[in-house]
């Protein structure tokens, strides 16, 4: 889970907390992703939100420590090895394979979350507008999430 960005975490959260253990719902996972996108810092803050849902403030603190500590330990332990790893053809090939695996996880979780989030014409339209903006411009995703939230609220209330 330390490799491939925080978004790889979403595949694990979906499989374990939603599908296997049923500790949170698909909707709560989507909310956690939105919170993780809006807050400053890495997407791992999604874990803090889920920890809060499951155990209040103590759960949020425990989840935050549990999600960040392994990365800090791994970086500290692997730092002396990095120069040797970079020179190794075998390690390079392994890392190429890990990159592809991480990309596949990202694609799979994106499809799962899209199925849960795109529930009507409004959500589909917001996604169709947001995706190109994210891909082709440097717009901050937090602004897109805020704008989409406002648009969704306006449509739901009959203002749009």
d(CA 132, CA 99): 24
Selected residue with higher pLDDT from 141 and 2: 141
What b/e readout covers 97-107, taking b as 16+ CB neighbours within 10 angstroms? eeeeebeebbe
Taking 50 as the threshold, does the pLDDT of residue 1 lie above it?
no
Average pLDDT, the chain: 86
Per-residue pLDDT band for 13 (boundaries 50, 70, 90) equals confident
Selected residue with higher pLDDT from 21 and 80: 21
Neighbouring CB atoms inside 10 A of 74's CB total 12
Cα radius of gyration rounded to whole Å, the chain = 18
* HEC secondary structure over the chain: CCCCCCHHHHHHHHHHHHHHCCCCCHHHHHHHHHHHHHCCCCCCHHHHHHHHHHHHHHHHHHHHHHHHHHHHHHHHHHHHHHHHHHHCHHHHHHHHHHHHHHHHHHHHHHHHHHHHHCCCHHHHHHHHHHHHHHHHCCCCHHHHHHHHHHHHHHHHHCCC
Over residues 48-71, mean pLDDT: 92
pLDDT value, residue 24 = 95
Within 13 Å of residue 148, how many CA atoms lie on the same side as its CB? 23
Check: CB of residue 84 under 8 Å from CB of residue 107: no
d(CA 29, CA 18): 8
pLDDT, tens digit, 9 for 90 and up, residues 92-125: 888 888 888 888 888 888 888 888 889 999 999 9
């Amino acid at each position: 889970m330390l490799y491939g960005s925080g978004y790889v975490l979403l595949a694990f959260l979906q499989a374990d907390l939603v599908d296997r253990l049923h500790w949170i719902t698909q909707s709560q996972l989507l909310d956690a992703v939105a919170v993780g996108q809006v807050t400053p810092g890495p997407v791992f803050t999604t874990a803090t939100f889920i920890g809060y849902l499951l155990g209040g403030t103590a759960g949020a603190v425990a989840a935050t420590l549990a999600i960040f500590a392994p990365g800090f330990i791994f970086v500290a332990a692997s730092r002396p090895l990095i120069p040797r790893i970079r020179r190794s053809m075998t390690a390079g090939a392994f890392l190429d394979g890990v990159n592809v695996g991480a990309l596949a996880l990202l694609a799979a979780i994106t499809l799962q979350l899209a199925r849960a989030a795109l529930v009507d014409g409004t959500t589909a339209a917001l996604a169709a507008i947001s995706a190109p903006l994210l891909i082709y411009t440097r717009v901050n995703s937090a602004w897109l999430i805020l704008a989409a939230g406002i648009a969704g609220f306006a449509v739901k209330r009959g203002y749009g």
